[in-house]
Amino acid sequence: MTITITAFERSPDGGKGLARDTRVRWALEEVGEPYQVRLVSFRAMKEPAHLALHPFGSIPTYEEGELALFETGGIVLHIAERHSGLLPEDANARARAITWMFAALNTVEPPILDLVIVKLIEGDKPWRAERLPLVEDRIRDRLNPLSVRLGDADWLDGAFSAGDLIMVSVLLRLRASGILDEFPNLAAYVARGEARPAYQRAFAAQLAVNTGKL
């Protein structure tokens, strides 16, 4: 069955791979599933056809036959549950990998998104200078224990899993801030994720869209 995802017609990051369709592309590449991409403009994202797929008018969405999904956590979990390669066979290890997906999205990603908001959306607000260091420290409060838990392991819990895929995707957004480099094992962890051939293919595909080479 053909899988179709949506992505920005032109990503605000110009193709750095930070738009969330990259996570979904990566998961599909890891399990070897071909997919199509429907590009949407910012205007189209808020129109009824797209809102029927994504109630919040965002990307990415995922369509497979009669199934339509939104939210990258739900989409990646769906892909991981239906194909081998992203979740362990052992039931307890599988539950832990899924827990890491939630940890990435619910615990680690929120302060990282706050940083994006402070820097980009509230860049001209009077509270920016006061708020920025607070938000940066909240990120460090999340990265410290994550760094301790990862230690010198390659991945968060044994073999690479959907938990790592989401965690690396979340941490990638931090690179430009320099905070990731304060935690060398996390920076190396992200680099390991980026070095995976499936990530490379996903990154190249989204870059091609954003450089007009598609």
CA 167/CA 146 separation, integer angstroms: 10
> Which residue is nearest to ligand GSH, using beta carbons?
58
Query: Is residue 78 within 8 Å of residue 137, measured between CB atoms?
Result: no
CB of 110 vs ligand GSH, minimal distance in Å = 10
CA nearest 24: which of 7, 41, 12? 7
Residue 206 binds to ligand GSH (criterion: CB under 6 A): no
Nearer to ligand GSH, 59 or 171 (CB): 59
CA nearest 62: which of 74, 51, 47, 44? 74
CA 171/CA 180 separation, integer angstroms: 8
| Binders of ligand GSH in range 33-52 (CB under 6 A) | 45
Residue 19 binds to ligand GSH (criterion: CB under 6 A): yes
Residue 71 binds to ligand GSH (criterion: CB under 6 A): yes
User: How many residues can be counted in the chain?
Assistant: 214
Nearer to ligand GSH, 8 or 183 (CB): 8
CB of 27 vs ligand GSH, minimal distance in Å = 12
CB of 56 vs ligand GSH, minimal distance in Å = 6
Q: Could you say which of 27, 72, 168, 179 contacts ligand GSH (CB under 6 A)?
A: 72
CA 82/CA 98 separation, integer angstroms: 14
The dihedral sign for the CA sequence 6, 191, 85, 71? negative
Q: Could you say which of 15, 17, 20, 29 contacts ligand GSH (CB under 6 A)?
A: 20
Q: Which residues bind ligand GSH (CB under 6 A)?
A: 19-20, 45, 57-59, 71-72
